[in-house]
Structure 1
Amino acid sequence: MTGNRVCWNRAAVDFATQVDVGGLEVDDPRADAVFNAIHQQLPVCREQGGRSVEESEEDVLRTFTRPITSNEPLLLFIKGEKGTGKSHLVRWLKTRLGARPSWHIVYIEKRNTSLRRVTEKILAGIDTPKARQLREELERASSEIASAEEAVSALLARLDHLVTFDPAAEIRGLSGMSAAELTDLRRKTHRLLGDYTFRNALSRSDGPVHRIVRLARGGAEPSEDIDEADLHLTEADLQVDPSVFDDLGPELQNLVGSLVSNRHLRADIATLCDWYLPRAKAEVFMGQGTDLLSVFEDVREEIATRGQELCLLIEDLVLLHGIDKQLAQALTIPASSRLCKLRAAIAVTSGYLNSLDTFTDRGVQFTLNINLKAIGQTSLRDFVGRYLNAGRLTDAALSDPGSRNQKPDIPNACLSCEDRLRCHATFGASTDDYGFYPFNGAAIDRLVELASPGDFQPREILREVIRGPLETAEEELPSGGIFPSGQFAKPLDDVRQSIPPGMRAAIRRTNHSNADAELSLRAFYAQSPPNADLALEAVAAYFGSQLSSGIAGDQDDLEERDDPPRKLQRQPASEIDQWANGVGLLTSGNANRVRRWICDAVIAHLQNGPYGVVTSRTKGSRPAWLIGSHTLRLTDVQIDRAQGGGAGESPIPFRIEATDDNALLIQGILAAVDGSSLDSVDQGRWFFYLQTRISAYASKLAHLATVDAATLPAAVQALEVLRYAAIDPGQTVSTALPAMLMPVSPAGQHPVVEKFLKEVRPVREEALATVRAHATAAKGAGKPSLFDVGPLLRHIQAHLKARSVQRETAAEDHDSQLLRQLQTRQSRAAEQAWNDVARSVQDVGRFLDPTEDLSATLKVVDRLVKECHPRGRLPRADSKEQYETIRNQVGTEAMESYRRLGIKIASKIGPGDLWDILNNPMPQLTALGRFAQVTNELLSSLEQNLTATQITGAVDTDALIRELRDLATLLDKASQEAQ
C-alpha cells in the first residue's frame, strides 16, 4: 500500500456511517450486513435495587430471551440520553433473535414512523373483526387529512372540543384546582382555541402545533433524536403577540393580555391542553371508532391461537406519543388462556419513561449513559475500526461467506490487501485486525476526545471522526505529501491547539513544502503532541510528508542556553496560547504592558529617526504622546480579544491579530518588559519582525505630523471658505485668522446652512489639524499654536476673498480630496437653500411689488383700518386685531431683504452665495408675505363692502350719495395723511 492509496468507497462509508441506526432499513439484506459489520459491543448498566450493575449486551440478550415462566409480560427498557445508542441496541437484539417460530415478532423502527404505521405494524398478519375495523378507521382518518395545514386545523379543533366538553373533574398537574376554577379555565381555553386569530398564532409554520403534527405524521428523520418536550404544549408555546388582537373585541383582548402577562395562567392552560393532546392526536390521525386497547387484546388472542408469544421491539417510544398510554396499558395486561404471553424491548429516554406510571416499575431497565472512560481506549478504537472496515467492503464481500475472517459473519477487507503488513505496522489495527489507515491509534484517540468530550456520543464520532476526515483524505491522498492538510478535522481543532503557538510559527517558517501537514500530524498522530516520535515519523514518511528538525518550545530553548537569563516574572504561556487559539482573552494587565512597550518604541523611533518632528508626552491619567498635531494613545495599539482597550475605534490603529507569530511577539514583549534579553523568545525573531512594523507605523505618524506642502494650501483654503460662517469673516489676514480658528456664527442660521456646517465639520477639523501640524513643525518646539502664522501667510493671502472652493484647485488628486468634499457639499447646500428662498420671494411677489414704498403703504393701510374699524366697515370683528398682529412683524428691513434677494435670484446663483443667506431670511419673507396677503384680502373685502349695496324696491338715492361721500372722505383723509 502506498501513501496515495484510497482503500475505501465513499458511498460505502456514507451508507455505513449514517448517524442513526434508523437509517439502516430493517430486513434489508445490505443494511443488515452493514449493521452486523459495524456493531460494536458497549458496556451497559442494569438498574437493580436502586443501584447500577455493569453488564454486557449478551446479558441484555439473555434477559430478553429467557423463557417466560409466569403470566406477567417481560418488559425490557433500554434507557439513555439522546444519541447514546439506545435504538442501536434494540436493533442488535433484533438481529440476534434469528428465526424463532414460536414468536410473533413486531419491530417498530424510527424510519418513516407515524401513529398509523405503528398501528399497522402491530396489526400485521392479524385478521379479526376489530383489526379490520381499525384498518378501515385508519384509512378513513388518513384520507380525510391531505396536508399538514389540514392536520393542524383538525388537531386544534379536536383539542378545543375535548377541553370544552370532557367531564373529567381532575387533570394531572392541576390537582390543586377547585371544580369552579377548572370550569373557568376550560372556558378561557375554549375562548382562545375557538378564536380564528389565536389559532392562527398557534398554527404558524415554525410553531408548536406544526411541530407536533409533523412528528405524529411520520416527519421525523431517521437520525433525529426527538426531544420529549417537542411532543408537548408548554406555556412558552402560548406566548403570542397581543398587538395582533387589537381589532378584536375587548373580551378577547383582555383575555390575551392576561395570557401574555400571567405566566401561571399560560402554564395552567398549557397543562390542560397537554392533558388532552395525546387523545386528540390519536383521534385525529387514527380515527375515533375503535379502542386500541381492545384491538391489542384481539391481536394477542389471535397470536395465542397460533401457539406463539408476541415479541415487540420499539426503537423509540417517544414517536408513539398519542397511543403510548394505551400501548402501555396493553403491555401490562397479564397473559391468560386467551391472551398470549408478551415480551417487549423498548428504547426510551429516561425522563419520558417516568411520565408513564404503568411502565415505571414493570420491567427490567438497562442504561446506556456511559462515558468514554467506561468504554476504554481499545473499545473506542475498535468502534472506529469497524466503520473503516465497513467502508472498504463491497456489497458482494459483505454477503460472501468465503471472505470471512475469524469472526463468523464479518469479512475483513484488509486480508486481501497486498500492503496489509506495512500498513498495519505503520498505522495499527483494531483487535479484530481492521486497519486504522488513514489514521493511527493516537489520531483516533485525539479525534474521539475532541468530537465526543466526556460522554460517548457515537453520532458525533461518526460525523467528525470518520466521515469528515475520510472525505478530506480522499481528496488529498492521491496528490501525495498534502494529507493531512489544514482541512483535516478543521471543525474539531482548526488551530491545532495541542501545539504551542511558538512551535506552530517555527514550523511554518522552516517547513516550506507543507507546514499544514506537519502541524496536523503532530497535533493528531503524535503519541504525545506535539513531540515527534518514531511512530509519527513512520506515518509522515508513509504519507510523503516531512517533519522539521530542531523544533523546540521556548522553555526547551532556554534550558539549552549556556548562560540562561534570570528567571522571568511573566505571564504563563497558557494565557497567550489560549488567546492565540481563540479560546481566551488577553488580560488587561498584559495587554496594556504590550501597548505601552509598542508606543514607547514608536516614539523612540520618531525621536531618533530622520523625521524632524517634535514629540512630547501629554499630561493625563493615561499615557499619551503628541506627535505634531496627532495624539498617540495606548488604545491606538489594538489587540484582538484583549481587555483594557476601550470601546472607541482608533483612526490610525496599530493592529495585533490573534496569530501564532503575534503570540510569540507578545511573549517577547512581556519578557523584555520583565528584564529578559530580546532573544529570550524565538531567538529574537519577534523583535526584528516588530521593528519593521514599528518603522512603517512611525513613518505614517510622521507624515501626519509634518504634512507635505501640497496638502497645506488645500487645508488653508478650506478654512478660509468656512470662515464665512462667522458673523465677521474678516477681509485681511489678521482679521480673517480668528474667524478661521473659531468662527462665531449668528444665532438664526438658515437650517440648510446649519446642516451643511455640521456635514463639513470633519473637513474643517482635518484642515485645522493639517495647518496646526505644519505650523508646529515650522516652529520647531514649544506648545503647538496656529498663531505661528508666518509660514502660512502666503497661503492665507492666496484665496482670502474666495467664498467657495476655486474650481482649478479641485483637480483629481489625493491632496484635493478635502476641497472636493467641501465643494460638493457647498454646491448642494447652496442650491437647496436658494430654491427655498426663491419660492418664498415668489410667494411675496404675488401681492407686493419689490419697488413699492412699504413705509407709505403701511401709513395708508394703518389709517384706513383705524377709520373703518369703528364704522363697522371691516370684514370681521377681529380684522383690526389680525392686521395689527401681522403688521408688527414686518418693517423696512424685511422689504430691503426682499428686494436684495429678488435681485440676487435674477442673477446666477453659485456655491459662494450660500453665505448671503447665512442669516436665515425665511422668517422675514414669511412674515412679509403674510402681511401682503392679509392686507390684500382686507382691502378687497373693504372695497366690496362699500360699493356692493343691495337694491331692493325703490332706490334711496340720498342714502347712496351719502355712502359715496363717506367713501370719498375716507380716501381723501387717507391720502392727506400719507402726504
Structure 2
Amino acid sequence: MADFRNYLCWAPDKASAVISTEAVNPSAAVFLATHAPLKIRRSLINGRSLVPTDATVEEREVLRDFLETKANTGTLLMPIVGDSGSGKSHLVRWVRENIQAGDRRRVIYLEKSGTSLKAVVEQLLEGVESETLDQLRRDVHTFSEGVDEAGLSRRLVNALNEVLAQTDRESVPSRKARILAGPRGLAALLQDPYVQEHLLADGRYIPQYAAQLLNSREADQPERPPGFTTEDLPLDIMNVRKASDIAQKLLGQLHSTEGLSQDAVTMLNEHMEAAVKRASNIGTGRLVKAMLDVREAYAKENKEIILLIEDFALIQGVQRELLEALTEAAHREGHQRYASMRTLMAVTTGYFKDLPETVMSRVSASTTGYVYDLDQVFDGKDSGVEEIASFAGRYLNAARVGREELEKEAGRSVSNACETCQFKVDCHETFGQTSEGYGLYPYNRSALLRMVHSVAPTGRPWAFVPRAFLGNVIRPVLVYSAHEIEEGAFPTARFRERFTTAEVDTPLSNAVVAYVDEHDPIAPERHKLVLEFWADAPADPSAINPGIRDAFGLHKFDKSTLPEVLGGGAVVTPIQTPKAEPEKIPVSLKRRLQSLEEWASRGKNLDGALARELRTLIVESVYRRYPWAAPISKELSKREVDKAWPVNATSVSIAGTTENIAGADRAPIRFDRTATNSLFFQSLLLVSAKAPGARSEATWRLARLAEHHARDLASSLERYFEAGDADLVLGLRASLIGAALAGHAWPGMSDVDLMDAAFDDGSSWSRGDLDTRVAPWRQLLTKHLSERQNLVMALRTRFGISKGSTGVVRMIDAARALPLVLEASKSWRWEPEGTIPKWIGSAMTGFSSLEGIVDQQAKQFESMMIDIRSRIRPGAAKETIAAVRTSLEAADSVGLSPNSAERDRILAIAALAEKADWRVIGAAHRNLEALRAAPEGERYENAVVATAQDHGVGPQHIRDFLVASDSWLTGALLEAGERTDSMGDSVTDEVQALLREWAELSKAEESTS
C-alpha cells in the first residue's frame, strides 16, 4: 500500500461544508444523505421522573406514532428527550422532512436558531389573517425594532422586579424562601443599582436572553442557557457594601442559608415568562388568544396543525401560553371548535425534569404516557460499534462526494465515492467498510469506538452523542488534520490532546510504550497512538494491521527485538527478566502494580500510600549508598537523616501524586508520568516484595540514581543541619571569638593554633588574668564557656568522622576545616548577615557588644601599663626589688619603716613580683604601641591582640609591688625631711641617697628586653 500512504480521498473544504453539528444547517439533500438511524428508546413519565423501558424503536415508528396516535382531546404532545447533542433536533428535522405535504395539514416548524420573539410569533401566526393577529404582529414588530439589547436587558430586570414584588409568601418554593417574596425580597435585590450591574454584565443570563429574544441565533453562536443558574446570582460581587442595606442583608442570607440560592433561581425562572410579556408589551393572554384564533381558523378549513419544536427551552417567554393554547381541547359542546394539534418538541432531559409544576402537569396530561429518549447508552464495549460505524460512514461518504453533488442527487440514491476509488479493495480490507459499503478510512472500527468513548459525557462512558461525535471526532480529523495526513504526520500530539484513553478502554501497556520509545527512532508518539486506537492497544507492539502501518508510514520493528508477551498484558525481554508467575504475586501487590500501570497509561493519580512506599525505597537507597566522605562528616543515624531527607515530595517528586507540601516543586529527584518510570516503579515493588517479574535494569537504574543524587543528599543535610560553608564559617567565628575572650586566640596566630582553638571545647580553660578583666568581659566569657561545649560538639559533628559504637567524633577533616577557619579569622567582629544557625545556640550571646568591651578592656590594660612603666625602668626588676628591701632595712634603723603589717605586705608583694615574668611588660607595651599607631580601620583587630592574650597574674603583682613601694618611700622621704635632731641630717642623707637610687631605677627608658 505504498501508493496509498498520505492519501486524502476528500477535500477538507468540502468536508467542512457537509459536516455540521446542527441538524438544521444542512440542506435537505445533505441532511438525508448523512442521516443514520438513531438509537431511540421509550421512557415512561412517572411524576417528574423518567423510567426507561426496554422498548427501542426506529424513526419511522416515531413518525407513525406521532401522526397516527388518536388523542381524546384532539391534542397530542410528544416530547423527544435527551441530553444536549444527542440528536433530538435531528429527529425533529427528520420527521419534518418525512411528513407528506397535503391539504389536510398545516406544518409549523420552530427551529432552534429562530429564538427571537418576532420569529416565534410570525411562525405560529403565519397563514392566518385577522385584525387581532395583525395587531399582535405589529406590536411584536414594534417591540423588536424599538429597543436594543442593552435596553431590553434593563427592561427585563425591571419587569422581573415588578413581577416578583407581587409574589406572596405562599407561592415560594420552600418555607425558608418566604423572605424572598414581596417587594422587600428578590424584588428589592433586583432594584439595587449595584446588583443590576452584576446581572447585566457580559456573559450573564439576562443579556444573552435579551440578545436572542431580539435576534435569532446564528449557526456559529452558542446556545442560550435555558434559564437562570446560581452562577447568575450576585453572590460574587466585589464590594457588597456598595449595595443597599436591604440588598446586603439578602445577599448575606443567600450566602449563609443552605438551599436559599437555588430557591431564588427557581423563582426567577418561574416568573421570567411574565417579565418577558411585560417587557415586550405582549400582555398576558394575548398569545393564547392568538393561537386559539389560529386553531379556530384552520378548524374551519378542516386542517390539522403539526407543530415541530426543535428546542422547547429556547422559546422561554411564551412557553406557558403556547402550551395552554396547543393543549386546549379541540371540541367544545359536542362540536369541533379548534383544529387538532400534534406537537413534537425536543427538550433536554434535565430541563424536562425541571419544568415548572404547571407546565409539567400540562405535558403529562396531553402526552401518550411516555416520551422518546435519545440518551444513547450501549450495553458493552462492542455493543453499538456497527451503529457508530454506519453513522460515521455516511458522513465520510458525504464529505467525499461534497454538498454540490449531493444536492444534484436529491431524491435519488446517494452515490458511494468509494466505488470509483483506485484504492478501494486494499483500503476496505485494511480500515474496514460499513454494511452500506462506505469506507471508514482514515478511521477503523477500533479507532471510532475508542474516540467515541473518549468524548463521551462524564459518568456515561458508553454514551454516543451525535453532536459530540461529529464535532469532536469526525470534523477535526477530516478538516483540521487533513494536512497532517498528507504530510505523514498524523496522528500528532494534538490528537492525544483531543482523545485521552477512556476508562472503559484498555490503555496501551507501559511495557509496550517503553518498547516503542526504545525501538522506534522516527515517530514513537505517532506509533503509540496508532497502536492504542487503531490496533486496540495490543500486548504485542507488532500486532497491528500491516496496511495501517504502511498507510501511516510507521517504523517496522526488528523481529529479533520483539518482546515476549505474558499473561495480563505485561511485556518483558526474556533475556533480562525471568517470566513472571502471576499466581506467586500477592493480591495487594497486584493492585499496586495495576495502579502504577494506570498512572502512566491512563493518567490516574497515585494513591498516597503507594507514592510513599516508592519514595521510601528511593530515599533509603540514596541514604544507604551515601559515603559520608564528600565532604567527610560524622555518619548520622537514619532517624537523623530523615529530618533532612524526608520520605515526602520535597525529596522525591512523582508527577500525578498529591504534592500539597511546600518545597515539592524543588525536589532534587523528580519522576515524570512515563511508561519507563511506571515499569521502574513496578520493578522496585517486585524486588522489595521478593516477587518474580522485576526488570534487572531497574536495579541498575536505582544504583545509578543513588550515586547521582548523593550530592543532593549532602546538600539536604547541609541545609537542614545548617552545615554549608557560610554556616560553618559563622560557627567557627563564634568559636574563635570565644577563644579570644578566654585568652586562647587572637588575630595573627598561626594556622595550627587557630585550628586548635576553634575545635577546643574550652573545658580545661581558665584565664590567669581574669581579675584584670573588666566586668563585661568576665560576664561575656562566663556565658560563652557555659555554652561552648555544645558549639564545639556541633562543629566537630559537621567536620568529623565517628568511630566505634558510641558515635563520638574522633577525627576532623582538616583539609575542609582549615580554609573555613582561616576565612572565619578574617574578621573578629560579630556582624552576621542573615539567619544564625540554630546549632550555634547561645554561645554567641552578647557578642554584638564585643567591640565596646574590647575598647574598655584596652583602656584598663593601658592604664595598668602606665602605672607600671611610670615607676620602673624596664629591665631593672631585680635591682628595684633589692633596692626596696635595702631601703626597708635602712629605714628600720632610723625609725622610718612602715608598721609591721605594712612592712610584711610589701615584702610579700615583693616576693610575688620577684617570681613574675617581667618580660610580659615589654610585650604588652609593644602591643599597646601597635594599637596606638594602627590606622582607624585596623584598630579593632589590634585591640583584640592587645587585650585577648593571657599575661597571667604577673603584671598585677608587679603593679601592686611598685605602687605599694612607691607609696611608702614617698611618705618616708617626707618624714625624713621634717626631722631636726642631731641624727636628722645623717638619716636624711641616707634616705635621700636611697631615694635617688629609686628615682634612678624608675627612669622611664625603653626596655631592651
TM-score range, shorter chain: 0.5 to 0.7
The one-character-per-residue Cα deviations of 1:806-863 (angstroms, maximum 9, x if unpaired) are 9xxxxxxxxxxx99999xxxxxxxxxxxxxxxxxxxxxxxxxxxxxxxxxxxxxxxxx
Equivalent residue number for residue 498 of structure 1: 507
Distance 1:31 1:329 in 2: 33
Residues 98, 551 of structure 1: alpha-carbon distance in 2 compared, 3 angstrom cutoff: farther
Residues 788, 239 of structure 1: alpha-carbon distance in 2 compared, 3 angstrom cutoff: same
User: Does 2:294 match 1:277?
Assistant: no
Residues 605, 21 of structure 1: alpha-carbon distance in 2 compared, 3 angstrom cutoff: same
- Alignment map for 1:638-787 (pairs within 5 Å): 638-642=653-657, 649=664, 653-675=668-690, 680-682=693-695, 684-698=696-710, 701=713, 732=746, 733=754, 737=758, 775-776=799-800, 783=807
User: Shift of the alpha carbon at 1:359?
Assistant: 2.2
Equivalent residue number for residue 59 of structure 1: 61
Equivalent residue number for residue 343 of structure 1: 342
Equivalent residue number for residue 361 of structure 1: 365
Distance 2:712 2:176 in 1: 76
User: Shift of the alpha carbon at 1:215?
Assistant: 5.0
Distance 2:826 2:542 in 1: 81
Equivalent residue number for residue 618 of structure 2: 598
The one-character-per-residue Cα deviations of 1:269-316 (angstroms, maximum 9, x if unpaired) are 655554432111133236339701111122234434555332211100
Aligned with residue 10 of structure 2, among 8, 11, 18: 8
User: Does 2:156 match 1:155?
Assistant: yes
CA contact (8 A) 2:92 2:309 kept: yes
User: Shift of the alpha carbon at 1:438?
Assistant: 0.7
User: Shift of the alpha carbon at 1:771?
Assistant: 7.5
The one-character-per-residue Cα deviations of 1:453-499 (angstroms, maximum 9, x if unpaired) are 2222222222332223335642332234x433444343222799621
The one-character-per-residue Cα deviations of 1:676-726 (angstroms, maximum 9, x if unpaired) are 57xx434x233334443333223565699999xxx9987766667788999
User: Shift of the alpha carbon at 1:48?
Assistant: 6.2
User: Shift of the alpha carbon at 1:589?
Assistant: 5.2
Distance 1:725 1:271 in 2: 78
- What is the letter of the counterpart of residue 653 of structure 2? Q
Distance 2:242 2:537 in 1: 67
User: Does 2:336 match 1:332?
Assistant: no
Aligned with residue 641 of structure 2, among 624, 637, 651: 624
Distance 2:543 2:823 in 1: 79
Distance 2:574 2:468 in 1: 43
Aligned with residue 598 of structure 2, among 560, 578, 586: 578
Aligned with residue 194 of structure 2, among 187, 193, 197: 197
Distance 2:181 2:623 in 1: 78
The one-character-per-residue Cα deviations of 1:904-938 (angstroms, maximum 9, x if unpaired) are xxx9999x99xx9xxxxxxxxxxxxxxxxxxxxxx
Aligned with residue 19 of structure 2, among 10, 17, 20: 17
Q: Find the residue that maps to 2:61 and give its secondary structure.
A: helix
User: Shift of the alpha carbon at 1:669?
Assistant: 1.7
Distance 1:243 1:739 in 2: 65
Q: Find the residue that maps to 1:624 and give its secondary structure.
A: helix
Distance 2:492 2:159 in 1: 58
Residues 277, 445 of structure 1: alpha-carbon distance in 2 compared, 3 angstrom cutoff: closer
Aligned positions, number: 765
Aligned with residue 488 of structure 1, among 490, 495, 508: 495
- What is the letter of the counterpart of residue 575 of structure 1? S
- What is the letter of the counterpart of residue 127 of structure 1? E
Equivalent residue number for residue 424 of structure 2: 420
Residues 501, 342 of structure 1: alpha-carbon distance in 2 compared, 3 angstrom cutoff: same
CA contact (8 A) 1:140 1:287 kept: no
- What is the letter of the counterpart of residue 34 of structure 2? I
Aligned with residue 377 of structure 1, among 376, 385, 409: 385
Distance 2:132 2:936 in 1: 99
Residues 15, 194 of structure 1: alpha-carbon distance in 2 compared, 3 angstrom cutoff: same
- What is the letter of the counterpart of residue 346 of structure 2? A
Residues 551, 639 of structure 1: alpha-carbon distance in 2 compared, 3 angstrom cutoff: same
The one-character-per-residue Cα deviations of 1:558-598 (angstroms, maximum 9, x if unpaired) are 79689757734544431110122354344455544544443
Aligned with residue 800 of structure 1, among 825, 829, 843: 825
Q: Find the residue that maps to 2:495 and give its secondary structure.
A: coil
User: Shift of the alpha carbon at 1:501?
Assistant: 0.8
User: Shift of the alpha carbon at 1:57?
Assistant: 0.7
Distance 2:181 2:522 in 1: 78
Equivalent residue number for residue 843 of structure 1: none
CA contact (8 A) 1:428 1:435 kept: yes
Equivalent residue number for residue 517 of structure 1: 526
Q: Find the residue that maps to 2:375 and give its secondary structure.
A: coil
- Alignment map for 1:36-51 (pairs within 5 Å): 36-47=32-43
User: Does 2:138 match 1:136?
Assistant: yes
Q: CA RMSD in A?
A: 4.9
The one-character-per-residue Cα deviations of 1:732-766 (angstroms, maximum 9, x if unpaired) are 2589849999xxxxxxxxxxxxxxxxxxxxxxxxx
Residue range with higher mean Cα deviation, 698-707 or 466-475: 698-707
Residues 264, 74 of structure 1: alpha-carbon distance in 2 compared, 3 angstrom cutoff: closer
User: Does 2:396 match 1:388?
Assistant: yes
Residue range with higher mean Cα deviation, 652-661 or 580-589: 580-589
Residues 339, 521 of structure 1: alpha-carbon distance in 2 compared, 3 angstrom cutoff: same
Distance 2:937 2:295 in 1: 101
CA contact (8 A) 1:637 1:655 kept: yes
- What is the letter of the counterpart of residue 82 of structure 2? G
Residues 775, 256 of structure 1: alpha-carbon distance in 2 compared, 3 angstrom cutoff: closer
Equivalent residue number for residue 73 of structure 1: 75
Distance 1:316 1:418 in 2: 44
Distance 1:681 1:769 in 2: 46
User: Shift of the alpha carbon at 1:185?
Assistant: 3.2
User: Does 2:554 match 1:545?
Assistant: yes
Unaligned 5+ segments in structure 1 are 25-29, 742-766, 807-817, 823-906, 917-979
User: Does 2:433 match 1:429?
Assistant: yes
Distance 2:667 2:185 in 1: 63
CA contact (8 A) 1:472 1:487 kept: no
Distance 2:630 2:822 in 1: 29
CA contact (8 A) 1:86 1:368 kept: yes
Residue range with higher mean Cα deviation, 194-203 or 452-461: 194-203
**Bigger Rg, which one:** 2
Distance 2:445 2:180 in 1: 66
Distance 2:209 2:642 in 1: 65
Q: Find the residue that maps to 2:80 and give its secondary structure.
A: strand
Aligned residues with identical type, % of pairs: 22
Unaligned 5+ segments in structure 2 are 747-753, 763-790, 837-934, 945-1009
The one-character-per-residue Cα deviations of 1:61-108 (angstroms, maximum 9, x if unpaired) are 112233879760233221223322111100111111243343222211
Distance 1:267 1:612 in 2: 66
CA contact (8 A) 1:624 1:633 kept: no
The one-character-per-residue Cα deviations of 1:403-436 (angstroms, maximum 9, x if unpaired) are x9xx944222212212212211211111111110
Residue range with higher mean Cα deviation, 369-378 or 666-675: 369-378
Distance 2:668 2:486 in 1: 45
Q: Find the residue that maps to 1:310 and give its secondary structure.
A: strand
- What is the letter of the counterpart of residue 687 of structure 1? T
Equivalent residue number for residue 31 of structure 1: 27
User: Shift of the alpha carbon at 1:442?
Assistant: 1.8
CA contact (8 A) 1:575 1:586 kept: yes
TM-score, length-scaled by structure 2: 0.65
